[in-house]
Structure 1
Amino acid sequence: MTDPSVRSIPFTDADGAEKTLDDLGADVVLVVNVASKCGLTPQYEQLEELQRLYGDRGFSVVGFPCNQFFGQEPGSVDEILEFCSTTYGISFPIADKVKVNGRNAADLYKALKDTPDAEGKAGRVAWNFEKFLVLPDGDVRRFRPNITPDDPAIVGTIEAALAR
């Protein structure tokens, strides 16, 4: 999916301020619905590594805490931020908690879910740690939760986009 307007869809950050992906000041943004009590939670480490490797080149991860999958993100935003900081040393932005599926899904996720994955399947977010890589022109690439942040498909797309 290519839609430059996806970068201007508002969301609420952890401090309660309205932001957009463009406000992050990054050309390439990896949007991830995160949870602190999930079997995939160790992906935070790889997400932070991407942030450290590419953050000064126009890249940012942004985490969207979501409690829709078996209550795996039950805490308050402050508790989530504390967990991310003390457990994984997260330096990338964490947004306010969102819903990613259903009629009350965050507007950004409503738009992102139109993007098909590598098998051509769009629609509902499957689980925590689903990844949407938003490129400068609004092109979006979707990676399902089982694809780790350090997967060559993700890293290669980030590097190619930053080299432009």
Structure 2
Amino acid sequence: MKGPTSLLLPLISFFSGVVCDGGDESDQHGTIYMFQAKNIDGKTVSMEKYRDKVVLFTNVASYCGYTDSNYNAFKELDGLYRDKGFRVAAFPCNQFGKQEPESELKILDFVKSSYTYTPDMYSKIEVNGPNTHPLWKFLKSERGSSLAADIPWNFSKFLVDKNGHVVARYSHSVNPLDLEEEITRLLNSNS
């Protein structure tokens, strides 16, 4: 059994890896706005870009059985709700079955040519283990208990509201179109 001190150490190490962008600390606390990530072109992007947007964060892979259904659903949701403030943030990850082995350039080419659509694409990351990206540590810490803390497979999903708070976590087997009602509710919310 772990004692109180051993439970605090992971929290201390988690928060020491957070990249802050500044701004009002009370506004930033517990939101995605504390983080940055490299986009698929290698440029550092603040998650501030999603302020006042509803965002679906997902770990993606090009050679997964869920690839086609998820990208097609992302494209459909984007077409319906982009103008209302909905975004998909896709993070390639090669940790599950080695199903995302290609370079970022090849991943981007695959998505563009296969789906004539590109979500917000980020550089390849790890979502589990000692090299977990700080943003994904945060996403998991906010909604980790219902599906276990670790990401089990490609296309796990986290839904974030317009205030940058993680409101739900979904399994890789959930089709993004099944989230449409919740996405609409969040887009229409005034808070």
Do they fold alike, i.e. is TM over 0.5?
yes
Matched, 1:145 2:172: yes
Matching residue of 1:113: 140
Matched, 1:16 2:51: no
Matching residue of 2:67: 41
Matched, 1:84 2:84: no
Percent of residue pairs identical: 37
Deviation of residue 87 (structure 1)?
0.4
Change (3 A) 1:150 1:26: same
Rounded to whole Å, the distance in 2 between the matches of 1:48 and 1:8 is 27
Rounded to whole Å, the distance in 2 between the matches of 1:7 and 1:52 is 25
Correspondent of 1:157 among 162, 176, 182: 182
Matching residue of 2:122: 95
2:132 alignment partner AA: A
Matching residue of 1:63: 90
Q: Cα RMSD over matched residues? A: 1.6
Gaps of 5+ in 2: 1-28
Deviations 1:64-121 (A, max 9, x none): 000000110000000000000000112321100000000101111011112336x823
Instruction: Choose between structure 1 and 2 for higher RCO, CA contacts under 8 A separated by at least 6 residues.
Output: 1
SS at match of 1:113: helix
Rounded to whole Å, the distance in 2 between the matches of 1:124 and 1:162 is 28
Are the aligned partners of 1:100 and 1:109 in contact in 2 as well (CA < 8 Å)? yes
Deviation of residue 16 (structure 1)?
1.0
1:160 alignment partner AA: R
Matching residue of 1:6: 32
Are the aligned partners of 1:26 and 1:60 in contact in 2 as well (CA < 8 Å)? no
Which structure carries more helix by proportion?
2
Deviation of residue 40 (structure 1)?
0.5
Which segments of structure 1 move beyond 4 Å, counting only runs of 4 or more?
none
Are the aligned partners of 1:35 and 1:65 in contact in 2 as well (CA < 8 Å)? yes
Change (3 A) 1:94 1:26: farther
Rounded to whole Å, the distance in 2 between the matches of 1:54 and 1:11 is 24
Deviation of residue 4 (structure 1)?
4.0
1:31 alignment partner AA: F
Task: Please say which structure displays the higher CA radius of gyration.
Answer: 2
